């Protein structure tokens, strides 16, 4: 829910021999080229070196990060996909190590374990949505009422489980720690907070839905929880948020963007 080296375009400009070789006039009385102005050679060498230095600097400025041409959301998606295993996504590069990284078909879910997941998820979504709705910070104001909000849906699901006779547990220490971490980021590190915002909501809309269906088949008699339902067209809601994320990132420096991308691995570790 880490990067390859940036790809730089080659500069064919320097492959033109006319820019690296002087052209001398020939006298009919001599068989060798004659330089009309002896200082011309030195001046042209200096000019050529200056061009090379300037063009090298320009080349560095033009370096593209994977996905950059399509907007910053595509950069975040590229980094996130690389942190998946091959079994989770075809673009994945991570080796399968922990049980939750195995294919869903090999999981052995229990209602009690699933309830712990739902309770921790509600705490995290409550935190995210509380930060967004209570903040006057312009960056966060963009993401109020996007239609992706999940806290109310989770509240409905937990009430249903309680009606079925299940005991609703308290959030785990891990869930509480993640909630506090998000609050700290929101105050002091907006790019990192936005990284978690993106990965939490977009991962749930993709792999999260698939996991929800598989778990429902195993332990809930195929009941579809509200957590996996959206009011309106999900693809349209996601596209709207993509546009907002790209708009916010346009105001960031390249360093701030890289800082956001570097937070991806931590986002995966917490939400795992």
**Residue 62: C-alpha distances to residues 11, 12, 65, 135, 254 (Å):** 11, 14, 10, 36, 12
pLDDT of res. 67: 79
Is 42 part of any domain?
no
Is 40 part of any domain?
no
**Residue 108: C-alpha distances to residues 10, 172, 194, 204 (Å):** 51, 20, 33, 20
- What predicted TM-score, i.e. pTM, was given to this entire model? 0.73
pLDDT of res. 200: 97
Q: Range of 122's domain?
A: 111-271
Is 140 part of any domain?
yes
Q: Which residues pair with 94 in a beta bridge?
A: 85
Average pLDDT per consecutive 10 residues, the chain (272 residues; last block may be shorter): 39 38 38 50 50 47 75 96 70 58 73 97 98 92 96 98 98 97 96 98 93 94 97 97 97 97 95 80
Is 38 part of any domain?
no
pLDDT of res. 51: 45
Contact 248, 256 (CB under 8 A): no
pLDDT of res. 239: 98
Report the number of distinct structural domains present in the chain.
Answer: 1
Is 236 part of any domain?
yes
- Whichever domain contains 238, its CATH number is 1.20.910.10
Q: Which residues pair with 64 in a beta bridge?
A: 7
Angle at 118 between CA 91 and CA 154, to 5 degrees: 105
Is 134 part of any domain?
yes
Is 51 part of any domain?
no
Q: What is the rounded distance in angstroms from the CA atom of residue 79 to the CA atom of residue 220?
A: 34
Query: Residue 131 CB: number of other CB atoms within 10 A?
Result: 19
């Amino acid at each position: 829910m880490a990067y390859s080296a940036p790809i730089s375009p080659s500069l064919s400009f320097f492959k033109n021999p006319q820019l690296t070789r002087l052209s001398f006039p020939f006298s009919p009385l001599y068989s060798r080229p004659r330089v009309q102005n002896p200082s011309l050679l030195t001046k042209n060498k200096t000019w050529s070196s200056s061009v090379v230095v300037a063009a090298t600097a320009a080349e560095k400025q033009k370096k593209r990060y994977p996905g950059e041409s399509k907007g910053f959301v595509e950069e975040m998606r590229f980094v996130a996909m690389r942190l998946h295993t091959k079994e989770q996504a075809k673009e994945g590069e991570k080796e399968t190590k922990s049980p939750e990284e195995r294919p869903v078909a090999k999981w052995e879910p229990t209602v009690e374990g699933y309830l712990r997941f739902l309770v921790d998820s509600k705490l995290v979504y409550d935190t995210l949505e509380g930060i967004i709705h209570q903040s006057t910070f312009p960056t966060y104001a963009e993401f109020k009422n996007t239609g992706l909000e999940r806290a109310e849906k989770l509240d409905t699901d937990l009430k249903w489980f309680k009606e079925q006779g299940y005991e609703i547990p308290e959030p785990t220490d891990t869930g509480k720690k993640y909630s506090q971490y998000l609050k700290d980021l929101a105050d002091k590190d907006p790019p990192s907070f936005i990284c978690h915002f993106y990965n939490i909501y977009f991962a749930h809309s993709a792999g999260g839905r698939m996991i929800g269906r598989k778990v429902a088949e195993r332990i809930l008699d195929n009941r579809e929880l509200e957590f996996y339902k959206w009011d309106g067209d999900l693809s349209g809601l996601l596209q709207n948020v993509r546009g907002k994320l790209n708009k916010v990132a346009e105001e960031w420096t390249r360093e701030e963007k890289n800082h956001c991308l570097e937070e991806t691995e931590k986002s995966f570790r917490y939400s795992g």
